Amino acid sequence: MLKQCPCGHTMTVKLRTVIYQSKVEIENVPIFTCEACQRTEVVPGVKDELTGLIHKLGQPEFKHQIRFEDVHELAHLMQLVLDKNNRSHSVEELVEERVNQLLDLLLLAQSLGDADWLREIRTRLAQIAKHDSRTYGLS
C-alpha cells in the first residue's frame, strides 16, 4: 500500500495515534506518511469509519482511548502484519488466518442466534474483502 506524495517521495502506511479534541486518543489508525516532508494522510479505505467515529464522539467530556482495530478490520490486520512476532508469516497467511478466525466466530454467532454479533462479523469480513492482499504490502 504505497502512494506518491506531492513532494515526489513515496508515502508508506504507518499505524499512528490520532488525538481528537485533546481528549480522545484513537490508536492504530492507518495513515500514509511521507518520510521526506512529514506529510500525513488518512488511508482512504478507513476514512469513512474514522469520520463516523469522530462524529459519534461529538464533544467528549472525559479523556479516553479507543483502539481503532476494534472499529475497523483493516487496522487489525495491519497490526498483525507489522507485529515483529509475525515476521515469519506472509501477509497472505495472516489475512487467511484472520478470515478463518472470523468465519469460526460467524458459525458460533449463528449457532447462538446473536444477530448483532453476526452483523458485526459480517462487517469485518466485508472490510477485509474490500482490500486485496496487495493493500498490506508494507515495507
Contacts with Zn ion by CB under 5 A lie at 5, 7, 9, 34, 36-37, 39
Closer by beta carbon to Zn ion, 42 or else 125:
42
Place of cell 478466525: 101
**Nearest distance from residue 7's CB to Zn ion, in Å?**
3
Minimum CB separation of residue 71 from Zn ion in Å reads 28
Residue (8 or 58) nearer to Zn ion, CB: 8
Kindly tell me which of 32 and 68 has the beta carbon lying closer to Zn ion.
Answer: 32
